């Protein structure tokens, strides 16, 4: 989930709600409450965080301010390979059960981590409006036992699993007259607790992360997801909703194998509606967040996504910054940058900020040959028929030991051609230009190629 869609609320953001005794008790005390209907909150009712201005100049920027609801599945990590992001889907027999069928392909592709959707009871079926955090039996994806079985099956193939942690807000059982889920068993939540340390989420009370009891109870829940359910790490949803020092607390108390935060800010745009060439402020904000959050957590590289998807549309010169390096977070802090092409918000059915669909393989050629931690989207891998092409690129990455800290030597960055040598082991090219001059030495041979992309390896 990212940010809201509709115009900001005229009223100021209320303080956070401090959850009391009943908040996170492992045995839900609210089992007598009517079960929420997944249709209660249609997606358009998703209101914006209070202090996000949507008065954007152009559609593109407005789209970036939006966010959605679905889920991705990231691929690998300990090998510095891609993470695999599994989106929300409704399938007969259950999504968790269905995902077991993907494990052979993911293991074969060298995936190290998968990012699974939020598992807790939620008034929104995708899981991003969680209520009873310990209730994993009412998810639309399947039951707690099915989830544990899925994670165990991934583990048997050496693949680790990330839980999608939605802790900016938490829904009560019922809505008040404004349509906000803030009636917790008859107790109205508005106006209590500390002021929010980040952006506000309108449809449900924001959690008071400054309350030490809340910190303890949420840490306990996340540790329970590790020890009882089997999760290895976390994907933090909407980290703009609370201060980075809060993320640092949860990282320290839960010691995940791997964690990544979703900090989704719009790029800066020029009068022509295109991203500015220089996005240093954007990636600098990501770097600041990572460091303030303790330096261990990683972040999705929204900078690289935004630049890359503009670049592949005849503006490949964008892929070199003023220092001759990659212009995204991978050019600044590659070990903490999770690169991606699309996720459940930006692509899939929502298409809030989609990568050009006919250029997706150019995007994967870039992120799978460059430093950072690449992630692969379920839709592209399984639904778009790109499994073979993507798997080849991952194999090349692994064969040559391309890592988060690999060195990039940019050989060409023109409108219709981007070429780079990585670690003096491989050379990659994207763009339609065919005349490459002498840029590929004679001791390099083609390792894989496709429409407007190629990778060579040294022999």
List, by residue number, the catalytic residues.
237, 262
118 CB-side CA count, 13 A:
26
Region of residue 402 (phi > 0: left; psi between -120 and 50: alpha; otherwise: beta):
beta
Nearer to Ca ion, 198 or 230 (CB): 198
Nearer to Ca ion, 206 or 321 (CB): 206
Show the binding pattern over residues 116-155: x = contacts Ca ion (CB under 5 A), - = does not.
----------------------------------------
Distance from the Cα of residue 74 to its chain's centroid: 8
Nearer to Ca ion, 240 or 429 (CB): 240
- 3-class secondary-structure state, position 121: coil
Nearer to Ca ion, 230 or 241 (CB): 241
Nearer to Ca ion, 167 or 394 (CB): 167
Least separation in angstroms between residue 168's CB and Ca ion is 5
Structure token pair of residue 137: 């039996």
Sort 13 into a burial class: Cβ within 10 Å, 0-12 / 13-18 / 19+.
Answer: middle
Nearer to Ca ion, 102 or 168 (CB): 168
Count of residues near Ca ion by CB under 5 A: 5
Least separation in angstroms between residue 16's CB and Ca ion is 7
Alpha helices in 100-190 (DSSP H): 103-108, 144-156
Least separation in angstroms between residue 243's CB and Ca ion is 9
- 3-class secondary-structure state, position 244: helix
Residue 400: count of CB within 10 angstroms of its CB: 19
In this chain, which stretch among 135-143, 152-160, 165-173, 358-366 interacts with Ca ion, using CB under 5 A? 165-173
Q: Are 248 and 259 in contact (CB under 8 A)?
A: no
Beta bridge partners of 427: 421, 456
In the chain, what is the straight-line distance between the N-terminal and C-terminal CA atoms, in Å? 45
Show the binding pattern over residues 225-254: x = contacts Ca ion (CB under 5 A), - = does not.
----------------x-------------
Least separation in angstroms between residue 170's CB and Ca ion is 11
Nearer to Ca ion, 196 or 379 (CB): 196
Least separation in angstroms between residue 55's CB and Ca ion is 21
Least separation in angstroms between residue 201's CB and Ca ion is 6
Name 143's Cβ contacts closer than 8 Å, sequence gap at least 6. Answer: 94, 96, 136, 137
- 3-class secondary-structure state, position 82: coil
Structure token pair of residue 419: 């070429």
CA distance to 46, 312, 341, 453, per residue, from 355 (Å): 23, 9, 6, 16
Show the binding pattern over residues 413-452: x = contacts Ca ion (CB under 5 A), - = does not.
----------------------------------------
Least separation in angstroms between residue 171's CB and Ca ion is 14
Show the binding pattern over residues 182-211: x = contacts Ca ion (CB under 5 A), - = does not.
--------------x-x-------x-----
237 closest CA partner among 7, 351, 71: 71
Q: Which of residues 379-398 bind Ca ion (CB under 5 A)?
A: none
Name 44's Cβ contacts closer than 8 Å, sequence gap at least 6. Answer: 5, 6
In this chain, which stretch among 168-176, 265-273, 278-286, 329-337 interacts with Ca ion, using CB under 5 A? 168-176
Handedness of CA 347, 353, 357, 363 (dihedral sign): negative
Binding site for Ca ion (CB under 5 A): 168, 196, 198, 206, 241
């Amino acid at each position: 989930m990212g940010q809201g869609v509709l115009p900001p609320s005229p009223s100021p953001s209320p303080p956070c709600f401090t959850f009391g005794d009943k908040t996170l008790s492992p045995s839900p005390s609210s089992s007598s409450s009517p079960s929420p209907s997944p249709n209660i909150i249609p997606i358009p009712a998703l209101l914006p965080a209070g202090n996000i201005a949507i008065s954007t100049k152009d559609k593109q920027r407005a789209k970036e301010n939006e966010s959605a609801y679905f889920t991705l599945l990231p691929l690998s990590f300990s090998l510095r390979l891609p993470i695999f992001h599994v989106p929300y889907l409704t399938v007969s027999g259950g999504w968790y059960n269905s995902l077991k069928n993907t494990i052979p392909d993911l293991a074969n592709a060298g995936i190290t981590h998968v990012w699974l959707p939020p598992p807790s009871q939620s008034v929104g079926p995708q899981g991003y409006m969680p209520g009873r955090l310990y209730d994993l039996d009412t998810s639309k994806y399947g039951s707690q036992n099915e989830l544990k079985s899925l994670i165990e099956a991934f583990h048997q193939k050496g693949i680790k699993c990330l839980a999608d942690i939605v802790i900016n807000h938490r829904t009560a059982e019922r809505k008040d007259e404004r349509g906000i889920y803030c009636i917790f068993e008859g107790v109205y939540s508005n106006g209590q607790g500390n002021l929010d340390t980040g952006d506000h989420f309108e449809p449900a009370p924001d959690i008071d992360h400054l309350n030490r009891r809340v910190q303890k109870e949420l840490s306990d829940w996340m540790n329970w997801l590790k020890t009882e359910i089997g999760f290895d790490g976390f994907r933090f949803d909407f980290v703009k909703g609370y201060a980075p020092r809060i993320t640092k607390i949860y990282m320290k108390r839960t010691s995940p194998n791997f964690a990544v935060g979703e900090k989704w800010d719009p790029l800066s745009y020029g009068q022509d509606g295109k991203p500015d060439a220089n996005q240093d402020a954007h990636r600098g904000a990501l770097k600041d967040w990572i460091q303030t959050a303790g330096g261990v957590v990683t972040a999705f590289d929204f900078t690289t996504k935004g630049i890359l998807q503009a670049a592949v549309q005849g503006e490949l010169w964008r892929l070199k910054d003023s220092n001759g390096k990659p212009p995204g977070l991978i050019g600044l802090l590659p070990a903490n940058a999770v690169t991606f092409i699309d996720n459940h918000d930006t692509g899939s059915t929502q298409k809030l900020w989609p990568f050009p669909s006919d250029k997706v393989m150019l995007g994967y050629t870039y992120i799978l040959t460059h430093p950072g931690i690449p992630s692969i989207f379920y839709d592209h891998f399984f639904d778009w028929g790109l499994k073979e092409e993507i798997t080849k690129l991952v194999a090349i990455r692994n064969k040559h030991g391309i890592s988060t800290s690999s060195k990039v030597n940019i050989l060409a960055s023109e409108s219709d051609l981007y070429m780079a040598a990585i670690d003096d082991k491989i050379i990659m090219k994207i763009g339609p230009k065919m005349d490459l001059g002498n840029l590929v030495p004679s001791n390099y041979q083609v390792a894989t190629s496709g429409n407007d992309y190629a990778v060579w390896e040294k022999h």
